[in-house]
Amino acid sequence: MPEKKNTDKFQPTRSGEVESAAQFKREFAFGVAVFGTEAGCGKTIFMTGLSAALRDEGFPTRAIKPFVLGARRDAENELAFISAITHTPVNYPLVIMDKTSAVQEGNWQQAANMTTSRQHLTFVELPGSPATPIMFEHTHDGSLGSSWKDAASFACDLGLPCILIAKHNKDALEKIMLAASYLQSRDARLVGVGTVETMEYGSANELKLTKSELELAIMNNAKTHYLGAIEYSPSISVPRVNQGNLIKVTAAGVDLLHVLRSLGAPASLSKS
Other beta carbons within 10 angstroms of residue 186's beta carbon come to: 15
CATH number for position 103: 3.40.50.300
Where in the sequence is the domain holding 162, given as residue range(s)?
Answer: 30-137+148-265
Per residue in 62-102, pLDDT (tens digit) is 999 999 988 888 899 999 999 999 999 998 888 888 765 67
Within-domain flag for 16: no
Within-domain flag for 14: no
Distance CA 136, CA 257 (A): 38
Q: Among residues 11, 24, 28, which one has the least CA distance to residue 58? A: 24
Instruction: Say which residue, 267 or 110, is predicted with more confidence.
Output: 110
Within-domain flag for 232: yes
Q: Among residues 166, 98, 188, which one has the least CA distance to residue 134? A: 98
The gap from C-alpha 218 to its chain's centroid, in whole angstroms, comes to 17
Distance CA 129, CA 151 (A): 7
Question: Which ranges in the chain belong to alpha helices (H)?
Answer: 43-56, 72-86, 105-115, 151-158, 172-185, 211-222, 246-253, 256-262
User: For all residues of the chain together, what is the average pLDDT?
Assistant: 83
| Percentage with pLDDT > 90 across the chain | 54
Within-domain flag for 272: no
Per residue in 31-44, pLDDT (tens digit) is 999 999 998 999 99
Structural domains of the chain, count: 1
Inform me whether the pLDDT recorded for 188 exceeds 50: yes
pTM (2 decimals)?
0.84
Within-domain flag for 72: yes
Within-domain flag for 4: no
Residue 141 confidence (pLDDT): 63
Residue 104 confidence (pLDDT): 84
Within-domain flag for 8: no
Other beta carbons within 10 angstroms of residue 210's beta carbon come to: 12
Q: Among residues 3, 18, 2, 1, which one has the least CA distance to residue 255? A: 18
Distance CA 68, CA 74 (A): 9
Q: Three-state DSSP class for 192?
A: strand
Residue 146 confidence (pLDDT): 63
Distance CA 126, CA 160 (A): 12
Per-residue DSSP letters for 113-178?
Answer: HHHT-TTSEEEEEPSSSTT-EEEEEE-TTS-EEEEEEEHHHHHHHHT-EEEEEEESSTTHHHHHHH
Within-domain flag for 20: no
